A = this chain, B = another copy of it.
């Protein structure tokens, strides 16, 4: 008994959508679940109590960011992220790989990385040298250190060290990076086991392997088969949030998801716009993290019911049309913001750049997305998931 397990509790007869429950040493997660991101050990403007009230059960933290600031010595003093952040539920951390590659190089530019990144990120078979985005200091991550760092962070779910390629990239480079990611997973598993055994009675921390392969069918399928063949607690799907279109994401899921074994939980990295959510749950994804709901909240973009927004699922509260609007953001929403404040007040807070605006908009967007995912779980339970999806994506 590892202290971590996943049970599929119900399968939608009309799609690959499923209900499940992940058990960790810090609590359980009903899936499918949206996972908010606390990049720097905080979901911007919100407390752990806020997240709990919003129904959040799993908290995503970036290893790269916490490694640099506050740094692992500080986290160690607290015995891990849980005590440091004051969040006592389950935590998932990434490998650090995505940020190592994405923060230190130009975005969305096709390149032969071996040349281009010589001075920015230096990738070898052993690991990756990179510079801090804070102070330019040089650091080195390997599959082994990524595991060690995540054990120090004390997260309930770790992700193996992977190379997330740029988008677009060549099939040649995608294969090279994927093969390396596969070799790194073998090393990650070995180091993860060493760490688990190194301290007696250490609460178990789960390890997910990450599927890569860019937008190439053969690579994605090969990666899925390979990752599933190794002994991990769960499966992560990486590299679908770096610039692919929604259609390309759907394709990747079409190729990859049927390969995955039912008994392992699946996490999709970095995706979670409203319409995406239906697509990925339909494909059988269990958990997915995304900064989108909180990021757009801080820009004044707040979710409304389908058809209410001029386009998509949100309105821009900074728009002059909301200046005297006494209605709440969404009259049917029961969130703290909608039950206490008007669109006009939110509009005002954003126009004068008041901190409270970011908080109230973040509370609303996370409440909204958690309510949606709860509704989706109910719809899977009663067999109406595809119907709900049609209602929401009717105009899409």
Q: Cα distance A326–B326 when bound, in Å?
A: 45
B residues less than 8 Å from A351 (CB atoms) = 69-70
Q: A358-B355, A359-B355 are in contact. Are A41 and B348 (CB under 8 A)?
A: yes
Closest to A70 in B: B348
Q: Are A347 and B70 in contact (CB under 8 A)?
A: yes
Q: Are A324 and B77 in contact (CB under 8 A)?
A: yes
Q: Are B44 and A342 in contact (CB under 8 A)?
A: no
Q: Are A74 and B355 in contact (CB under 8 A)?
A: no
Q: Which of A78-86, A100-108, A271-279, A375-383 contacts B (4 or more CB under 8 A)?
A: A78-86
B residues less than 8 Å from A347 (CB atoms) = 70
| A352 contacts the other chain (CB 8 A) | yes
Q: Are B70 and A323 in contact (CB under 8 A)?
A: yes
Fill in one digit per residue for A69-97: 1 if any B CB lies within 8 Å of its CB, else 0: 11001100110000011100000000000
Main SS class of interface, A: helix
Interface size class of A (residues with CB under 8 A): 35 or more
B residues less than 8 Å from A41 (CB atoms) = 345, 348
Chain B nearest CB: distance from A54 CB in Å?
15
Closest to A360 in B: B47
| A344 contacts the other chain (CB 8 A) | yes
Q: Are A44 and B344 in contact (CB under 8 A)?
A: no
B residues less than 8 Å from A352 (CB atoms) = 40, 65, 69
Closest to A65 in B: B352
Q: Cα distance A359–B342 when bound, in Å?
A: 21
| A226 contacts the other chain (CB 8 A) | no
Contact residue among B40, B323, B345, B356 (Cβ-Cβ distance under 8 Å from A45): B356
Q: Cα distance A113–B81 when bound, in Å?
A: 57
| A46 contacts the other chain (CB 8 A) | yes
| A354 contacts the other chain (CB 8 A) | yes
Chain B nearest CB: distance from A61 CB in Å?
12
Q: Are B70 and A354 in contact (CB under 8 A)?
A: no
B residues less than 8 Å from A358 (CB atoms) = 355
| A396 contacts the other chain (CB 8 A) | no
Chain B nearest CB: distance from A6 CB in Å?
31
Contact residue among B40, B85, B344 (Cβ-Cβ distance under 8 Å from A70): B344
Q: Are A324 and B45 in contact (CB under 8 A)?
A: no
Q: Cα distance A321–B349 when bound, in Å?
A: 35
Fill in one digit per residue for A368-388: 1 if any B CB lies within 8 Å of its CB, else 0: 000000000000000000000
| A42 contacts the other chain (CB 8 A) | yes
| A340 contacts the other chain (CB 8 A) | yes
B residues less than 8 Å from A78 (CB atoms) = 326, 342, 344
Contact residue among B40, B340, B341, B354 (Cβ-Cβ distance under 8 Å from A354): B40
Q: Are A355 and B44 in contact (CB under 8 A)?
A: yes
Q: Are A359 and B323 in contact (CB under 8 A)?
A: no
Q: Cα distance A342–B81 when bound, in Å?
A: 12
Closest to A345 in B: B84
B residues less than 8 Å from A323 (CB atoms) = 70, 74
Q: Cα distance A42–B359 when bound, in Å?
A: 12
- Tell me the chain A residues, 308-339 only, with Cβ under 8 Å from chain B: 323-324, 326
Q: Provide 13 A-B residue pairs closer than 8 Å at the C-beta atoms, listed in order of the A residue.
A: A41-B348, A42-B354, A45-B359, A47-B359, A48-B340, A49-B340, A69-B348, A74-B324, A74-B348, A85-B345, A86-B341, A86-B345, A355-B359
Closest 3 CB pairs of A and B: A45-B355, A70-B348, A40-B352
Known pairs A70-B348, A77-B344 / 18 extra A-B pairs, C-beta < 8 Å: A40-B354, A44-B354, A44-B355, A44-B356, A47-B340, A48-B340, A49-B340, A70-B344, A70-B347, A70-B351, A74-B348, A77-B324, A78-B326, A78-B342, A78-B344, A85-B345, A86-B340, A355-B358
